[in-house]
Amino acid sequence: MVRRVTLTLAIAVTASPLGGFAGQSDVQTMTGWFADAQCAAPRAAKGVIGPNNPDCVKRCLEEGATAVFISEQARALFEVRDYPSVKADVGYHIELTGTVDKTGKVISVVSVKRLAYAGAICAVPPRDSRKKK
């Protein structure tokens, strides 16, 4: 009897998505940028979804700040797990595929594809102000 119960539990756990609890995480592909939580969180709270200054982000990450992914689709930040190359991809607009824990706002990276270099955009004036009068 004990063996049947154990076997049933093992099947139930492995049958749920990604071996976890159904509905809490799934694999998604999103576009966005890597940043550090310290700089990105206040901007995201104001609704600003875009890249941060790559030099500042790299410095903060070297000092121990938490790496985050800024998702254009979710318009949210996700703490980055399982991706030691975050600093190398800072400054690039990327396509990230990963396992997303929506409850904990965490993403475990499966793959990253660089789309284009974004660089620092903080000094670029808005398009409307660049029009000649």
Mean predicted confidence (pLDDT) in 94-114 = 95
> Which pLDDT value is given to residue 36?
97
Mean pLDDT, all residues of the chain? 80
Specify the CATH number of the domain 20-121.
2.40.50
123 vs 24, more confident: 24
**Phi and psi at residue 79, to the nearest 5°:** -65, 135
Q: Is the pLDDT of residue 127 over 60?
A: no
Angstrom CA distances, 20 to 24, 26, 28, 56, stand at: 8, 10, 16, 36
State the Cα torsion 18-23-24-25 to the nearest 10°: 40
